[in-house]
Amino acid sequence: MVSNNLGSFELTDVSVTYGSETAVAGVTMHIPAESVTALIGPSGCGKSTLLRCLNRMNDEIGNVTIEGKLLLDGVDIYDSRAVDPVELRKRVGQVFQKPNPFPMTIFDNVAYGPRTHGVKKKSELDQIVEESLRRAALWKEVKDLLKKHAFELSGGQQQRLCIARALATEPEVLLMDEPASSLDPISTQQIEDTIATLKESVTIVIVTHNMQQAARVSDQTAFMLRDSMERPASLVEMGETRMMFTNPSDKRTEEYITGRFG
């Protein structure tokens, strides 16, 4: 894929409130294009909540209020006049913690998004499916099995199929919520290798509890924390991954990364 240098996020004082409870407060960060940003922190510190803000998946929950500014390529994604959530999710795809292929063939899984957005010609769909599977490092394994039901694939293959499905709409950004947490070490390595290749053309934001994984795959890391149940989660610090893991600015970051809590 040719670099388009799109997919840069600017978050300014972002807060997320469910009903009357503020879950995440005051997050300001820059997510640069065509890089990997890791969100780390203990369970319940707002990582997945913040991730879902980036493609407005929190809209589907209901009774959620988002405050602050979230700009994608300079445009406020919560400006209803400028951004359609459906179109936004085409530009900002997502891969979830557990593989969730649709109950259909391998081919139809990958072709689902393009078909939804109006691609009808078989030759175009064939090309999109092959390219997406290649980018997800799955083509060689399934090129002769495209009519096979997706549920017949292994867990690791299913997750790479979900990556291919997300890539089929040519997103600028790919959100990954612990994409390898349920996979074996070999499948995890395949996912990480895929991430390393994809970042040349797609911005990736990954939530992970695996510190070694964050250190391996990310260019920058954001550490989030909820100091107590009475206070909302917040961003403690964010920086270049190597520096975050060797010389963090905040003592809490060092304590978390070295396993003293969390």
Q: What pLDDT shows up at residue 227?
A: 86
How far is the CA of 31 from the CAs of 11, 70, 221, in angstroms?
8, 11, 10
Q: What pLDDT shows up at residue 245?
A: 95
In whole angstroms, what separates CA 256 from the centre of its chain?
Answer: 22
Domains of the chain: 9-257 (3.40.50.300)
Q: What pLDDT shows up at residue 4?
A: 61
Q: Which two tokens stand for residue 257?
A: 């990364």
pTM: 0.93
Q: Do residues 205 and 51 make contact, with C-beta atoms less than 8 angstroms apart? A: yes
Integer Cα distance of 51 and 177 in angstroms: 8
Q: What pLDDT shows up at residue 60?
A: 83
Q: Which two tokens stand for residue 174?
A: 């790919």
Regions in the chain scoring below 70 on pLDDT: 1-4, 262
Integer Cα distance of 11 and 82 in angstroms: 17
DSSP structural state of residue 149? B
At residue 13, what is the residue type?
D
- What are φ and ψ of residue 245, in 5° steps? -90, -15
